[in-house]
Amino acid sequence: MLFQVEMTVKLPPDMSAEQATNIKATEKAYSQGLQRQGKWRHLWRVAGSYSNVSIFDVKDNAELHDLVSNLPLFPYMDISVKPLCRHPSSVRDDDS
């Protein structure tokens, strides 16, 4: 199943620079692992904000919840999820 996931990160103002650097590094490693596995198919930064729009390709809602809730930055995110399905006019074979 494909999902569009929009994430906006809101780190606490009192978080130390060292803690922020560490959590971002851990987040990067985790997200890149999911990308290599094909579960996190696309990742785009939203220009001008600490946000992204992503496409996940997972088995079901529960798998998506597990992956997203295990993001190190999850406690500091506002997240919206939209399920997607293939458009009948798409010319791409890998849209399912």
Domain ranges of the chain: 2-84
Say whether pTM exceeds 0.85: yes
Top CATH class of 2-84 equals alpha beta
52, 63, 44: which is closest to 1 by C-alpha? Answer: 63
Cβ neighbours of 67 (radius 10 Å): 20
Task: Spell out a b/e string for 10-49, using b for 16 or more CB atoms within 10 Å of the CB, else e.
Answer: eeeeeeeeeeeeebeeebeebbeebeeeebbeebeeeeee
The reported pLDDT for the residue numbered 9 is 98
6-58 per-position pLDDT tens digit: 999 999 999 999 999 999 999 999 999 999 999 999 999 999 999 999 999 99
77 vs 95: which has the higher pLDDT: 77
pLDDT attached to residue 96: 63
